[in-house]
């Protein structure tokens, strides 16, 4: 995301990224055309979606998959919905 101070005079040379682990600052949620909706009622907490999500956007806390997906980074690829053994995730048009 371009912010003030991102002119050619100030940004690191040669496309280097000087801050480690900053991929999370790149919000890929805008790429999405379909949005995964996770139904906690149906979910059996197997964590398949969590393991398969290529963007680490399925969140888990204290061993529980959360109903809230990280929509800032979820690209809407649908892998989670495809992998869910009980069809607890539905892809809804944005």
One residue of 12, 30, 63, 85 binding another protein per CB under 8 A: 12
Nearest CA among 90, 85, 92, 91 for reference residue 44: 85
- What is the 3 state secondary structure string of 60-75? EECCEEEEEECCCCCC
**Residues near ligand SF4, by CB under 6 A:** 36, 38, 43-49, 53, 55, 57-58, 65, 69, 74-80, 83-84, 86, 88-89
- Total chain residues near another protein (CB under 8 A): 14
Residue 86, both tokens:
């009980």
**Residue 77 in contact with residue 29, Cβ under 8 Å?**
no
Q: Which stretch binds another protein (CB under 8 A): 10-18, 37-45, 57-65, 86-94?
A: 10-18
Contact of residue 93 among ligand SF4, another protein, none (CB under 5-8 Å per partner type): none
């Amino acid at each position: 995301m371009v912010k003030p101070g991102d002119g050619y005079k100030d940004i690191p040379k040669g496309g280097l990224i000087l801050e480690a682990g900053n991929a999370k600052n790149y919000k890929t949620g805008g790429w999405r055309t379909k949005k995964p909706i996770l139904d906690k009622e149906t979910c059996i907490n197997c964590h398949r979606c969590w393991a398969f999500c290529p963007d680490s956007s399925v969140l888990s806390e204290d061993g529980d998959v959360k109903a809230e997906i990280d929509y800032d980074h979820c690209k809407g690829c649908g892998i989670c919905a495809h992998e869910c053994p009980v069809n607890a995730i539905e892809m809804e048009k944005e």
